Structure 1
């Protein structure tokens, strides 16, 4: 990095709601642990090594404010140490999932990844980004997605960093006519984790779907913000979130369906369901419907409570212990979203992570 002036002057926000305080951005260091996959016909390049970066300026520069925090967005835009540009050609279909593993260790404990995904007309691809750490690390990610007419893009983000790490992840998507963007988010790790997904359905009949699961234990703090901005007519969106909280963990969920002027006959649905496994957890849900247009449909639901006693009784009557019955109920609620991940080893690691932490005494 040639110019780090101002890096140490950027401050993290302070959020009482998830105990984000007294955390500073670590000293800058390079990240050298990302392997760029080689897939036939795929134009994918390392962001920091791309000699043609100037031609992507109009995509990299986003005028509107977005992300978990404006300072954190600025941090990665200016000082990124990893990330990729994926540029899908018109009519290009990449059948093999594109996998990016951001593994953090003592030598690579800082990841500031800036990712740009451009899906030109009629293209299709799935991108999987996996974030792990085996000791205290810091991740601040930024992903920008442009889905042009009739394209279909799926972005899967899996976060299983260790319990001493901090994770911040900002995502923004622009969806064109008849195009669709799917986000799948798995939030399982870190001491503090904050993620933001903002999808802008810019043209008619654009679609967006966001499915997520989260699990928090000990004194973890989770801050989740999912926003669907409807601009075009006849747009369809869906937000489906399932989670579980244990010990003294905290979670804030904000789901926003925003129907802008001109988004006539658009429809959006959002729902969050969280299982509270202990009395000392704290769960805040703030679903919002914002309507600047009359002829639209918006639905929202939020549910937080202990495990259903009838389900628990039924499973225990079949010979399961209370602990095993609770574990089975939580895992079953997560299963439909876990099954959408196209790599068996990732599915197994997610299952093992959840199973191990649920097996601990309540």
Structure 2
């Protein structure tokens, strides 16, 4: 197999060490498309106004041999013995228990997987998210680094969760992890994907892609938790292609402090394929978020559900787009969606845009959306039972988010998600309280 070398600095050139020819050709395809593509056009959000920096320097750390070498600030986010940690542009730790290795399960960084398992990676890589969709996907195809490859053979059920943790702690750093999950027929796996920045003043742009391929009768659960700091921008595409009788369950926590754009989509390709998308986000300060969840029904008798809950504080803004598309021929499909926004300040803004696109007659589809403030009658009732106003407001907010948080399959992950929600909400400020009492 022929290998190619490239530079370490991203400046319109490829920058990676030895890799297969097919992967270099794909990078060049993305690089060549850059001059002809535009930034994606988002509903009520202009990405041209965002301070999208150049990709930066490819910084790869020295590989650690043990989880014990991780600093305590990161260890507290580790939920599993089967995990991969990426720092900045490359892997820091890779660990998979011997039991799973014997079953044929693979968990490694994507660059290594492309060299060692090309027959498993090449048929799927950049096939759910395509390089030429827009400027962001082309940049990602050309410059992605590190990432993770998860492979589960046919009939194998991974009982314990796998985890990937991506973090950036240096500015002017290339941060473009790509996660590729391949679950063969009748297999099952749960992946906890965690993306964060570990320094308050670390300005970075995360251009991430996750591709999930669910084989016939397989089940994949994805918990995706993002918590980048205020000076960082998060641009994330998540996409699953689901075959006959397969199922993908997304549980997403958008806990970033800066500008965020995410697009999560399930393509229900096979008959009986199913999808469940649950997402929560908490806005604070002056941050802007544009969050899209999409389900495309292609196969017959394909069920889907979508629930998005947003809590908006201060001057934050969120655009929530829920899109259910039922293609011609997808008879028996059933697509449901709900978007709800709770605003805690008069200057906060939340727009819920439920969209149904139906090209088939014999289907079921429905949507619901609401935008509003804390119900004063609920506050009065709780305060009449001796609960303080601040505690009552917090309980109402946590109850508002509970339908999503309660679905977290792992107790440790649920506790961390709850902690992040509390951190973002903090003590409701007097301005918030005043607005709620009006």
How high is the TM-score relative to the length of structure 1? Answer: 0.92
**1:111-190 correspondence runs (5 A):** 111-133=175-197, 134-135=199-200, 136-190=203-257
The 3 A distance-change label for structure 1 pair 72 and 85 is same
How high is the TM-score relative to the length of structure 2? Answer: 0.77
| Matching of residue 78 in structure 1 with residue 142 in structure 2 | yes
- Report the number of matched residues: 361
The Cα shift of 1:79 comes to 1.0
Counterparts of 1:107 and 1:37, CA distance in 2: 27
The 3 A distance-change label for structure 1 pair 329 and 80 is same
Q: Could you say which residue in structure 2 is the equivalent of 1:28?
A: 57
| Matching of residue 269 in structure 1 with residue 336 in structure 2 | yes
Give unmatched runs, 5+ long, in structure 2: 15-30, 62-86, 433-438
Counterparts of 1:341 and 1:36, CA distance in 2: 24
**Residues 29 and 110 in structure 1, CA contact (< 8 A), matched pair in contact too:** yes
CA-to-aligned-CA distance 1:80-119 (integer Å, 9 cap, x gap): 1121111110000001100111122127954201111111
Structure with greater Cα Rg: 2
SS at match of 1:232: coil
The 3 A distance-change label for structure 1 pair 81 and 64 is closer
Q: Which has the higher strand share?
A: 1
Q: Could you say which residue in structure 2 is the equivalent of 1:37?
A: 95
Q: Could you say which residue in structure 2 is the equivalent of 1:48?
A: 111
**Of 203-212 and 276-285, the range deviating more from structure 2:** 276-285
Q: Could you say which residue in structure 1 is the equivalent of 2:170?
A: 106
**1:87-102 correspondence runs (5 A):** 87-102=151-166
Counterparts of 1:241 and 1:63, CA distance in 2: 23
**Residues 91 and 121 in structure 1, CA contact (< 8 A), matched pair in contact too:** yes
The 3 A distance-change label for structure 1 pair 302 and 346 is same
The Cα shift of 1:176 comes to 0.7
The 3 A distance-change label for structure 1 pair 301 and 65 is farther
**Of 88-97 and 24-33, the range deviating more from structure 2:** 24-33
Counterparts of 2:126 and 2:285, CA distance in 1: 39
| Matching of residue 290 in structure 1 with residue 357 in structure 2 | yes
Counterparts of 1:351 and 1:85, CA distance in 2: 28
**Residues 108 and 149 in structure 2, CA contact (< 8 A), matched pair in contact too:** yes
**1:215-230 correspondence runs (5 A):** 215-230=282-297
Q: Could you say which residue in structure 2 is the equivalent of 1:242?
A: 309
The 3 A distance-change label for structure 1 pair 86 and 114 is same
**Residues 146 and 174 in structure 1, CA contact (< 8 A), matched pair in contact too:** yes
Counterparts of 2:265 and 2:352, CA distance in 1: 17
**Residues 250 and 278 in structure 2, CA contact (< 8 A), matched pair in contact too:** yes
**Of 129-138 and 115-124, the range deviating more from structure 2:** 129-138
**Residues 342 and 371 in structure 2, CA contact (< 8 A), matched pair in contact too:** yes
Q: Could you say which residue in structure 2 is the equivalent of 1:2?
A: 6
Q: Could you say which residue in structure 2 is the equivalent of 1:354?
A: 421
**Residues 247 and 281 in structure 1, CA contact (< 8 A), matched pair in contact too:** yes
**Residues 209 and 238 in structure 1, CA contact (< 8 A), matched pair in contact too:** yes
SS at match of 2:94: coil
**Residues 31 and 81 in structure 1, CA contact (< 8 A), matched pair in contact too:** no
CA-to-aligned-CA distance 1:310-334 (integer Å, 9 cap, x gap): 2111111122222221111111222
The 3 A distance-change label for structure 1 pair 110 and 351 is farther
The 3 A distance-change label for structure 1 pair 99 and 312 is same
Question: What is the root-mean-square deviation of aligned Cα atoms in Å?
Answer: 2.4
The Cα shift of 1:335 comes to 2.7
Counterparts of 1:113 and 1:281, CA distance in 2: 32
| Matching of residue 17 in structure 1 with residue 48 in structure 2 | no
